[in-house]
Structure 1
């Protein structure tokens, strides 16, 4: 089961081209697009931005990141479940802070496509996406 979730997580990240994971296929229902990757003035840290498009009903695997994530909903309606907190539903124009290492799930709960701009402030050289146990 862990192998299957790990593969699903790897597939979710695919296509970013950000040297964050070697996989090259995308998870069905998700389309990730590179926006930016740049070193920060803090040694060993970088910022990574990706646009993630969610097909109707698409749900991510439970995962975390080795740094903070700022999710900004560009289109549609997304629900975020951060471990230990009640779910939060966001519409286009709303944002959410996800703490480093917090396991979470994102799902499209609207009727059409949904999109987010995910900004990660992470440790350089580490996988940006870690599938939860």
Structure 2
């Protein structure tokens, strides 16, 4: 049975001076066997890997998402599409600056 990704919202606030955007901070936990489908955001996502593990994209070799890995996923750019393999869960702190009232993430075409 596939494991579920757990998202814990830590904070949410409007962007100062822009009522159309908000900042959302989440702890995202990927247990072994969980799949993060390819998706995009209606805004920017800055992430930091708190606890690393191994992921695999279909048709590619497994790769490590190491603790300390960080980056920014740009607005509308599809990413993820991997399954956590091995025994270690992955924990990521994500901060989003996104369009207020739109879904935080949407499936990639």
Q: Does residue 1:124 correspond to 2:100, yes or no?
A: yes
Greater percentage in helix: 1
Superposition RMSD on alpha carbons, in Å? Answer: 2.4
- Aligned pair partner of 2:65 in 59, 82, 90: 90
Q: Which moved more, 1:113-122 or 1:102-111?
A: 102-111
Q: CA deviation at 1:89?
A: 4.6
4+ long deviations beyond 6 Å: none
Q: Which moved more, 1:71-80 or 1:100-109?
A: 71-80
* Residues 45 and 68 of structure 1: CA distance in aligned 2, closer, same or farther (over 3 Å): same
Query: How does the TM-score come out when normalised to structure 2?
Result: 0.79
Which residues of structure 2 form unaligned runs of 5+?
58-62
Distance 2:71 2:83 in 1: 14
- Aligned pair partner of 2:25 in 42, 49, 52: 49
* Residues 89 and 68 of structure 1: CA distance in aligned 2, closer, same or farther (over 3 Å): farther
Q: Which has the higher contact order (CA 8 A, sep 6+)?
A: 2
- Contact preservation (8 Å) 1:53, 1:116: yes
Q: Does residue 1:36 correspond to 2:26, yes or no?
A: no
Which residues of structure 1 form unaligned runs of 5+?
1-26, 82-87
Residue 60 of structure 2 corresponds to none
